[in-house]
Structure formats: structure tokens, C-alpha cells
A and B are shown apart, each in its own frame.
Chain A
Amino acid sequence: DADVTQTPRNRITKTGKRIMLECSQTKGHDRMYWYRQDPGLGLRLIYYSFDVKDINKGEISDGYSVSRQAQAKFSLSLESAIPNQTALYFCATSDPTQGANYGYTFGSGTRLTVV
């Protein structure tokens, strides 16, 4: 099994619908992140969580919300999806005790299309 698992892998949804992307990890890391990746814009941070009770907005949080259900689970919701939220979404984890030297562990991504 992958260290960081994202579901679904692909999703097509209609404008205005609520959708949830799920992420679970077996690394035992406290820190979890949600990024979106767009051509020409790279990876941009949506939300991050340093533990179950600590959730913070990233640079592009408008239109998104998150839930940290447990150390291992971090979900991203689009309350009312719009077409410019079409992107590739990644969940990642990191371990602060190991520092940046070990980088982030990313999931395989969710390709979301809003029509």
C-alpha cells in the first residue's frame, strides 16, 4: 500500500456541487498538506495542518475547506465547485522531527474536472 493514499484518482463534477477529496497516510506524520497543481502555476498550498487541532490556510484557501479527522486523515472539500477549480490536487505529509531533509511525501493526486 502507498504511504499516502488519495481518493478518488479522477473525478468529474458539475458546477455548484459539493465534493470531498480524501487523503490518508501510513507514515505516522503529524503534518499534512493540500496542494493544487496547474500548468504554468506549479504547486500552490491550499491548507495545511500541523496536528489534529491545528489547521491553517495556505495561499489559495478561498472556496475550499478541510477536515482533519485523525492524525492519518485529512480531507479537502469544495463547497460549491466552479470550473477554475479544475486542477490536479495533491496531499502530502512531512515529519518535523526529520526536518526538510526528508522532504514531503506526496500522494498520487486527484485529477478534478469541474464542468
Chain B
Amino acid sequence: QKEVEQDPGPLSVPEGAIVSLNCTYSNSAFQYFMWYRQYSRKGPELLMYTYSSGNKEDGRFTAQVDKSSKYISLFIRDSQPSDSATYLCAMTFSDTGTASKLTFGTGTRLQVTL
């Protein structure tokens, strides 16, 4: 079993839809959770970051962490064609130090259609 599971998709939605992307994980020691966005032929870029449980909102994006269920989500409101990309979740035990290496999900490919 992988430490971090993520549905690969592809997920296709119409423009303006609300998108829900999810990851589950097995190691309860993870404390820091991130979402990266990766456009085709580009490297991943950090989109959202949360610590421990709770919600965080940034514009059209909301990240949720439920540590009791070992489940994290990224919601995209009013989705746009420019949101079409692969979204990777990532997590780590520690903010700094040798334990700060990230463990990534496999990524979900999202396509927002006109």
C-alpha cells in the first residue's frame, strides 16, 4: 500500500464547476500538507499549504485536512480552463530538518472544458 493515495483521473468538468480533489494517507505522523499544480511540460508549483487539521482558503481554492480520517481535499470554485493541470498532494512530518522531505501523491489530471 502506498503511503499516499490519489485518484489519477482524468477528471473532466465544465467551466464554472466546483472541483474536488482528494488524497488519503496512511501515516498519522504527517503534519504538513501541500497541494502542487503541474502544467504540461512544467515542474510542479506550490499552490496551497496547511498545517495539521482545518481549512485554508486562497481565492478560488480551499484546502481541507481531516487528520482523524487521514484525508485531505482541494476544492476549486468557479473552475476555469486555465485550471487544467495535474494536481499533486504532498505531505511531510516536519517543517524543517531531515524529516522535511516531501511524500507525493501520484497526481490527478484535471481538464476544465468550455
A residues neighboring B (CB under 8 Å)? 4, 33, 40-43, 45, 48, 50, 58, 90, 92, 94, 96-97, 99-104, 106-109
Contacts and interface: CB of A to CB of B under 8 A. Distances in A.
Contacts of A109: 41-43
Given A40-B8, A43-B88, A96-B100, A103 B43 contact: no
A48 B83 CA distance: 31
Contact of B43 (A40, A48, A90): A90
How many of chain B's residues touch chain A, expressed as a range? 20 to 34
Question: Which label, helix, strand, loop or mixed, suits the secondary structure of the A interface?
Answer: mixed
Nearest to B44: A106
Given A96-B100, A100-B32, A108-B42, 8 more contacts: A42-B105, A42-B106, A43-B88, A96-B97, A99-B96, A99-B100, A103-B49, A109-B41
A57 to B, nearest CB: 12
Contact of B46 (A42, A99, A104): A104
A107 B102 CA distance: 16
Contact of B96 (A58, A96, A108): A96
Contacts of B44: 43, 90, 104, 106
B95 interface: yes
A1 to B, nearest CB: 15
